Structure 1
Amino acid sequence: MEQKEILISQGNRPFWQIILAALFFTGMLICLYFFFNTFNIFESTKKVRNSLNFLTVAIFLFGGGISFSIVRDYHFNFKEKKYKILFCVGPVKIGSWKSFKNLEYISVYRNKKNFFEINLWYDRNRHFNLAIQNKADIALIIGKELAKKLKIELYDATDPHNPKWVDNLKT
């Protein structure tokens, strides 16, 4: 049975990040409250500037809240050869369909920060960074499972001096 659609999700954010996001959003709402209660275009320039400072802080707090609550999901439709990257904040999901010609392979390699990245390569030189792990064996297990689901090859570059293709299609 051929699988036509696959959804790869980052899952849920850790609880401490949800708490931080809630604090940022609460601070944003408080700043917006003070902005709307103190802003009056007919006041002196100094009072208008002070009111606008609340709005500026609210914008920065909103950005902090988003950065601690956003989750990326990858949705692939192989029948129509399209993909969609969904940016999710709670129940709100934003993303649009884009086309790809063909999937090439999954790669697992160590980056400069000594983490192992799992990438999906498509259309010759384009790729998605699907996940990051701190252990090579876990990253390879994830890479193998993805390659098996997608029926493509796996490139193991966890050892940069000895990269190799893993014959994943026979297992």
Structure 2
Amino acid sequence: MKNNKKSEILISQKKRSWYELVLAAVFYGVFIYLLGIVIYVVYLGIPVVTFIKLLTSLVSVGGFCFGYGLIFSATKDIIINVTDSIIITRYVVGPFSYDVKSKVTTFEYVSFFLDKWGEYATNLWYVKNRHYKMCSFKSKESAYQFCLDLSTKLNIDILDATEKGNFKWIEKDKLK
């Protein structure tokens, strides 16, 4: 977690490892190859029934390859603008990026909990019962440290919701 300015907090996902990028390149390569086959078949002018059968199989395999290429190459960055109360989620694939902006009135608290996949997830809560899903961690200590850093920068409370039905507010004053 980095603090670029006093008014912005940047939470950046780590860069992809080399083998993930190689797998993404293989999947993208297969997708482009299949796209080339479709263009070539259209150029040849084969019968419509054969073309439709070939196109459905190529679209299903091509969609699979493109989807897994995205899974292995995409990263997610979160920018919290404190002064304007905006959360910007930036999805990045190579040189391309897509921003999703969420307007927030006031930040209330940050919580961490055990999700259904056995990871510790974190949420940033605002406006009564609305929340923003932040990150997931393998260990409780990592999730706790992330929440502690975020709550310190935003000056909000922390909720430990790892045990169902036994939520605990963590007082930051006793930690110092």
Query: Greater CA deviation, 153-162 or 41-50?
Result: 41-50
Structure 2 counterpart of 1:142, from 118, 138, 146 = 146
Gaps of 5+ in 2: none
Q: CA deviation at 1:75?
A: 1.3
Q: List per-residue Cα deviations over 1:37-80 (Å, max 9, x = no partner).
A: 11148431233225423344323321221122221111121212
Q: What is aligned with 1:16?
A: 19
The secondary structure found in structure 2 opposite 1:129 is strand
TM-score, with structure 2 as normaliser: 0.84
TM-score, with structure 1 as normaliser: 0.87
Structure 2 counterpart of 1:43, from 27, 41, 46 = 46
The secondary structure found in structure 2 opposite 1:145 is helix
Aligned residues: 170
Query: Greater CA deviation, 45-54 or 144-153?
Result: 45-54
The secondary structure found in structure 2 opposite 1:25 is helix
Gaps of 5+ in 1: none
Q: CA deviation at 1:102?
A: 0.7
Structure 1 counterpart of 2:116, from 112, 117, 123 = 112
Inter-CA distance 37–11: structure 2 relative to 1 (3 Å threshold): same
Q: CA deviation at 1:14?
A: 3.4
Structure 2 counterpart of 1:133, from 130, 137, 153 = 137
Contact kept in structure 1, 2:119 and 2:139, CA below 8 Å:
yes
Contact kept in structure 1, 2:82 and 2:154, CA below 8 Å:
no
The secondary structure found in structure 1 opposite 2:30 is helix
Partner amino acid, structure 2, of 1:32: L
Structure 2 counterpart of 1:79, from 77, 83, 88 = 83
RMSD across aligned C-alpha pairs, in angstroms?
2.2
